[in-house]
C-alpha cells in the first residue's frame, strides 16, 4: 500500500473519497433502487484483484425495495465481520446488461495488508508475475482479527 | 508489464496497458499479439487504418485468446468529416460493433478533436444500445434491433481534463472509458497526482449525480468543493479548469440542411 497515494486498495466506486457515512450510503442505495437494481452485501479478507466473487452475506436482496433494509443488512455484516472488507453491489437485470453495475467498499480492516508482487524468473529474460495477498499468509481461522 | 503489475499490487485493481499490435501485414500483427499475450497483457490495440479483414481477423484472434481488443479510430477523419463524400462515423461504429471489437474511440464532444455533441452521442448509442430508436438530431435514421450482438465500450479520448468531468458524465453516462492522456501526464505535480485528480473528480461527480445533484449546472462548484480536500485536483483545475475548445463542428447530423465549411 505504500506506493499507493491513498494508502488503501482502490477497487470500485468512491475509493478515492473519504469513507461514506451511512446517510451517504443510503442515498446511493436509493439511487440504485430507483433504477430497479437489486443490492447485495459481500465480504472477504482477500481482496485480490482476481478475487471476483467475494463471500455472500445472505442472498442478493432481489425483492427488497427499501434502502433502510439494505443498510440494516450491511450493518449486520459489519457487526459480524468488523475486520473484513465489505462491499455493496447493485445488479441490473435488464436484458443485455445482466451484471453488476455499482460496487463500492463500505468497510475495511483497520490495517490493510495489501499485496506483494512476486516475480518468477523464467527461461531467457521472461518474468512471470503474481500478485500475492499478504492476508492469505495466515490460516483462515487466524484472520479477520487484529 | 512490470509497471502494470506493480500498479495492480499497489491498488488491488486489475490494470492494463494498450499494447498496439498494428503492423504492415496481418501475419506481423498476429506475431505482435502473441507477444503481448506472452508478456501477460490483458489488452491489445489496433488502428483503424489496418483495414476491415485484418480487424475481423484480429478480433477473432482476441476472442480465442481471452484478449480485450481496443480499437483506435486513427485515420477515420480522412473520410468521415466531409458531407459530400465519404462514410459517416456512425456507420463505421456499426461495422466495428459487428466485427466484435471491445473498445472504440468515439469522440469527446468537449475535447480537442471536433465533434458535435448530439452526433457523438449517436455514435455512443450505436455502440451500447440493445435497441436503437430513430433519433434524427443524433444522426440515427431508423430503428434498429441489435438482438444479442455484443456491445462495444465507447472511449472518450483527446484533450479532456478533470475540469470537464460533469460534462463528460452528463453527455455519456456510466458505460464509457474516459482517457486522460495529457490531462494526466501534464499535471504540474506529476503523473500520479494527475491520476489522483482525475479519479477524485470522477468519483465525486458520480456520487453527486447519484445523490440527485444537477451536475450539468453545479458541476464546477462540485469540483471546486472537492478540490478543497484534494490538492492534486486543485492543481488540475488551476491548470486546465478554464480550457475549453470552442468550434463549430463540420460533422453535424444532416437530417436538415445545415451550413458547413465543407460544402
Asked if pLDDT for residue B248 goes beyond 90, the answer is: no
What pLDDT is stored for residue B246 in this prediction?
A: 80
Q: Taking a C-beta distance cutoff of 8 angstroms, is the pair B123, B258 a contact?
A: no
Output the DSSP codes for A48-116. Answer: -TT--S-EESSS-BTT---HHHHHHHHHHHHHH-TTSEEEEEEEE--TTT-EEEEEEEEE--SS---EE
Q: What is the mean pLDDT of residues A112-124?
A: 95
Strand-pair partners of B20: B45
Given CA atoms A34, A35, A37, A40 in this order, what sign does their dihedral have? negative
What pLDDT is stored for residue A143 in this prediction?
A: 80
Q: What is the mean pLDDT of residues B233-246?
A: 90
> In this complex, is the C-beta atom of A136 within 8 Å of any C-beta atom belonging to chain B?
no
For A52-69, the pLDDT digits (tens) are 999 999 999 999 999 999
Measure Cα distances from B155 to B70, B74, B109, B171 in Å.
9, 13, 12, 13
Asked if pLDDT for residue B245 goes beyond 60, the answer is: yes
What pLDDT is stored for residue A6 in this prediction?
A: 87
Hey, what's the cell of B105?
474511440
Asked if pLDDT for residue B244 goes beyond 90, the answer is: no
Contact B211 A27 (CB under 8 A): yes
What pLDDT is stored for residue A144 in this prediction?
A: 65
Q: What is the mean pLDDT of residues B191-203?
A: 97
Measured between beta carbons, the chain A residues lying within 8 angstroms of B5 are 117, 129, 131
Q: Taking a C-beta distance cutoff of 8 angstroms, is the pair B112, B180 a contact?
A: no
Contact B6 A3 (CB under 8 A): yes
What pLDDT is stored for residue B168 in this prediction?
A: 96
Mutation target to probe the B interface, by most B beta carbons within 10 A, among A37, A51, A96 is: A96
Task: Number of A to B CB contacts under 8 A, please give it.
Answer: 82
What pLDDT is stored for residue B113 in this prediction?
A: 82
CA distance A109 to chain B (A): 14
Measure Cα distances from A49 to B12, B140, B208, B257 in Å.
5, 39, 27, 52
Hey, what's the cell of A13?
466506486
CA distance B165 to B225: 14
Q: What is the mean pLDDT of residues A117-142?
A: 93
Q: What is the mean pLDDT of residues B135-148?
A: 94
For B15-52, the pLDDT digits (tens) are 999 999 999 999 999 999 999 999 999 999 999 999 99
For A5-19, the pLDDT digits (tens) are 888 999 999 999 999
For B46-98, the pLDDT digits (tens) are 999 999 999 999 999 999 999 999 999 999 999 998 888 899 999 999 999 99
Q: What is the mean pLDDT of residues A11-36?
A: 98
Q: Which of A5, A28, A129 sits opposite B196 (nearest CB)?
A: A5
What pLDDT is stored for residue B263 in this prediction?
A: 46
Domains and CATH numbers, chain A: 22-111 (3.30.190.10)
Measured between beta carbons, the chain B residues lying within 8 angstroms of A28 are 207, 210-211
- Range with the poorest average pLDDT among A48-62, A67-81, B236-250: B236-250
> Look-up: residue for cell 483497520?
A110
What pLDDT is stored for residue B247 in this prediction?
A: 79
Model confidence pTM above 0.90: yes
> In this complex, is the C-beta atom of A90 within 8 Å of any C-beta atom belonging to chain B?
no
> In this complex, is the C-beta atom of B210 within 8 Å of any C-beta atom belonging to chain A?
yes
Asked if pLDDT for residue B156 goes beyond 90, the answer is: yes
Q: What is the mean pLDDT of residues B185-190?
A: 97
Q: Which of A5, A18, A116 sits opposite B9 (nearest CB)?
A: A116
Measured between beta carbons, the chain A residues lying within 8 angstroms of B205 are none
Strand, helix or coil at A145?
coil
Measured between beta carbons, the chain A residues lying within 8 angstroms of B204 are 17
Amino acid at each position: 500500500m505504500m506506493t499507493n497515494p491513498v494508502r488503501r486498495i482502490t477497487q470500485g466506486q468512491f475509493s478515492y473519497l473519504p469513507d461514506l457515512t451511512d446517510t451517504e450510503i443510503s442515498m446511493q442505495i436509493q439511487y440504485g433502487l430507483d433504477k430497479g437494481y437489486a443490492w447485495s452485501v459481500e465480504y472477504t479478507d482477500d481482496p485480490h484483484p482476481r478475487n471476483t466473487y467475494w463471500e455472500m452475506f445472505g442472498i442478493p436482496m432481489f425483492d427488497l425495495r427499501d434502502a433502510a433494509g439494505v443498510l440494516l443488512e450491511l450493518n449486520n455484516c459489519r457487526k459480524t465481520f468488523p475486520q473484513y472488507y465489505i462491499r455493496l453491489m447493485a445488479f441490473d437485470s435488464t436484458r443485455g446488461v445482466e451484471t453488476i453495475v455499482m460496487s463500492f467498499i463500505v468497510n475495511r480492516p483497520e490495517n490493510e495488508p495489501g499485496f506483494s508482487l512476486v516475480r518468477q524468473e523464467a527461461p531467457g529474460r521472461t518474468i512471470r508475475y503474481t500478485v500475492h495477498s499478504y492476508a492469505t499468509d495466515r490460516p483462515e481461522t487466524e484472520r479477520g482479527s487484529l | 508489464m512490470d509497471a502494470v503489475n506493480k500498479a495492480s499490487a499497489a491498488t488491488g485493481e486489475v490494470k492494463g496497458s494498450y499494447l498496439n499490435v498494428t503492423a504492415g501485414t496481418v501475419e506481423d500483427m498476429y506475431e505482435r499479439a502473441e507477444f503481448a499475450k506472452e508478456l501477460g497483457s490483458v489488452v491489445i490495440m489496433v488502428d483503424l487504418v489496418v483495414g476491415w479483414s485484418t480487424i475481423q481477423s484480429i478480433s477473432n484472434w482476441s476472442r480465442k485468446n481471452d484478449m480485450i481488443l481496443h480499437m483506435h479510430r486513427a485515420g477515420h477523419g480522412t473520410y468521415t468529416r466531409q458531407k459530400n463524400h465519404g462514410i459517416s462515423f456512425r456507420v463505421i461504429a456499426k461495422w466495428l460493433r459487428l466485427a466484435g471489437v471491445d473498445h472504440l474511440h468515439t469522440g469527446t464532444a468537449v475535447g480537442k478533436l471536433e465533434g458535435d455533441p448530439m452526433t457523438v452521442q449517436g455514435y455512443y448509442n450505436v455502440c451500447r444500445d440493445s435497441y436503437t430508436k430513430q433519433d434524427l438530431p443524433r444522426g440515427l435514421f431508423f430503428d434498429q434491433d441489435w438482438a444479442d450482438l455484443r456491445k462495444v465500450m465507447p472511449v472518450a479520448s483527446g484533450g479532456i481534463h478533470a475540469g470537464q468531468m460533469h460534462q463528460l458524465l452528463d453527455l455519456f453516462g456510466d458505460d464509457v472509458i474516459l482517457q486522460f492522456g495529457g490531462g494526466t501526464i501534464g499535471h504540474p505535480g506529476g503523473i500520479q497526482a494527475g491520476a489522483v485528480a482525475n479519479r477524485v473528480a470522477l468519483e465525486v461527480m458520480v456520487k453527486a449525480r447519484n445523490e440527485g445533484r444537477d451536475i450539468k449546472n453545479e458541476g464546477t462548484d462540485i469540483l471546486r468543493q472537492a478540490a478543497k480536500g484534494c490538492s492534486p485536483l486543485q492543481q488540475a483545475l488551476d491548470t486546465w479548469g478554464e480550457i475549453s475548445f470552442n468550434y463549430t463542428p463540420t460533422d453535424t447530423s444532416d437530417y436538415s440542411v445545415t451550413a458547413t465549411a465543407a460544402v
